[in-house]
Amino acid sequence: MRIILVILFTFFWQQGYSSDLESLNSKEQACYASAMIGYDYVINSRVGLPIERALNTVSVNVDANNVSDTYKFQLHKVVMNAYQWQGAPHTYAAKVMYNCAFSQAQKLAGL
C-alpha cells in the first residue's frame, strides 16, 4: 500500500511542479534556471568537482542550446561564485534569483 501512495504522490507532485514552470515567461525561466544551476554548483563544489570541469560542462551545455554570449557569461559568473559561496545552497539560489530578477527589472525600466 505504501508503494502505491508513494507512486501517486510522486506523480501528482511532478504534475503540479511542471505546470508551475510552464506559467513562467522566458525571462523568469532564465532566472529560475540560473538559480538552480547555482544551487547545484554550490553542492558540486563541496563534493569536490573541480571548477574547470564545472565551467566546461556549462560551456558545452550552453553551446549545444545556442544561448547568447551574455547568458553564457552570466552562467559562468554564477558557477564561479557558487564555488566561493560559504553559505547554504538554498541561500545562494535565492540570491541568484533575486539578482537576476532585479537586473531584469532594471532593463525593463530602461536603467
Burial class (CB in 10 A: 0-12, 13-18, 19+), 76: middle
Residue 4 pLDDT: 53
Q: Say if residue 111's pLDDT is above 80.
A: no
C-beta separation of 82 from 42 below 8 A: yes
Model pTM score: 0.72
Residue 52 pLDDT: 93
The three cell numbers of residue 60 are: 558545452
pLDDT tens sequence across 71-99: 888 889 999 999 999 999 999 999 999 99
Residue 11 pLDDT: 53
The three cell numbers of residue 86 are: 560559504
CA pair distance 43, 9, nearest whole angstrom: 26
Residue 12 pLDDT: 54
Residue 9 pLDDT: 56
Residue 49 pLDDT: 92
pLDDT tens sequence across 26-73: 788 888 989 999 999 999 999 999 999 998 888 887 776 667 777 888
Q: Say if residue 17's pLDDT is above 60.
A: no
The three cell numbers of residue 36 are: 538552480
Q: Where are the domains of the chain?
A: 25-109
CA pair distance 33, 67, nearest whole angstrom: 13
